[in-house]
Amino acid sequence: MTNLICITCPIGCALQAQLVDGKLTVTGHTCARGEEFARAELTNPMRTLCTTVRTNDPACPLLPVRTQGEIPKAAMMDVMRLLAGVTVTSPLTCGDVITSLAPICDGNVIATCDWPF
């Protein structure tokens, strides 16, 4: 039995989860998303990564970004290092793809606000 805190919503239910022969038992959840979260957490934990990338504007040197969906938790630092090499130079709208994460995992990184500000 593993104790987990569900991160899906602000309630943060305390879950007890167990995966035996591919069969999941969860208690403590108050919605279906909690069950999904527990399954992922016990097999392949996923996270949304929110961070920033550099811009070429010294007055506003950073643009906030996030992964479009969740990525494997274990890949977070690799994605951080990938994004450290990215610089935004042309105008973007909130939600535009900045880069693909192809070398590391599935998914894209998107802008979380319009740029230039």
**Residue whose CB is less far from other proteins, 102 or 113:** 113
Interface with other proteins includes 4 (CB under 8 A)? yes
Interface with other proteins includes 87 (CB under 8 A)? no
DSSP secondary structure string for all residues of 35-89: HHHHHHHHHS-EE--EEEEEES-TTS-EEEEEESS-EEGGGHHHHHHHHHT-EE-
Residues in 11-40 at the binding interface with other proteins, rule: CB under 8 A = 12, 14, 30
- Identified binder of other proteins from the candidate list 56, 61, 87, 97, rule CB under 8 A: 61
- Identified binder of other proteins from the candidate list 2, 27, 44, 50, rule CB under 8 A: 50
**Residue whose CB is less far from other proteins, 52 or 100:** 52
DSSP state of 28: S
Q: Which of 71, 31, 67 is nearest to 47 (CA)?
A: 71
